[in-house]
Amino acid sequence: MLKEGVRSIVVTAPKKTTYATDFLDHMRKHHTYLIQSKRQNRATFAELIGSADQPHRVAELVKTKEFRKLIAETTSEEADHIVNAFEKCLYSTDSKSVILFSLKEIEDMVYDRERHNDLTAYLMLTDKYLADSEDKNRIHRLLQISKNRKVKTRIVNAETPAGKRISQFGGIFFFTMQTHTTSQL
């Protein structure tokens, strides 16, 4: 899952247990490559009190205000990491990186993605860009095809630091970067 882009992980444990804390301590001690802030494959962990041992309990947890708040925080942190990776590409002299800001250029690149499969690709846009766009159907189609073509897509709240940075580039951007395969994953 981490190789495919899931970077926000919520760990749950029942009240009066230390399972989640023990697990997170273990991750910090023995799997630091997953939580180091400078790494591209970094994951964001959050802790929630509750039981997730059966599907109906997971469904109950997902509906809680605490869970929604944790997801908002972890995905915001994840978006910050992606924007930081974008900043590195923006100022990099690597000729393999591609950075696009117009919807038409992004569509052309995504729809022709099979030729460029050796690079990790990201499509970032703000919720405000999506809400204000007159081409919502076009954007939704782009998002769906992007996901099908293994482009990591994120719709970011425009009020977050990452959302404000994306807004400085018109509310949408696409970039690719060379990934370094690690034997740790």
For residue 27, which amino acid is it? M
> What count of other Cβ atoms lies within 10 Å of the Cβ of residue 26?
10
- Domain-by-domain residue ranges, the chain? 2-80, 94-177
Domain covering 94-177 in this structure, CATH number? 3.30.1330.30
Digitized pLDDT (tens) for each residue of the chain, 185 residues in all: 334 455 678 888 888 888 888 998 898 888 887 776 555 567 778 888 888 888 888 888 888 888 888 877 777 777 887 888 888 888 877 667 888 999 999 999 998 866 556 678 899 999 999 999 998 999 999 999 998 888 888 899 899 889 999 999 999 999 987 655 433 33
Chain Cα centroid distance, residue 81 = 8
The whole-angstrom separation of Cα 7 and Cα 14 is: 23
For residue 127, the surrounding DSSP H or E stretch is helix 127-132
For residue 129, the surrounding DSSP H or E stretch is helix 127-132
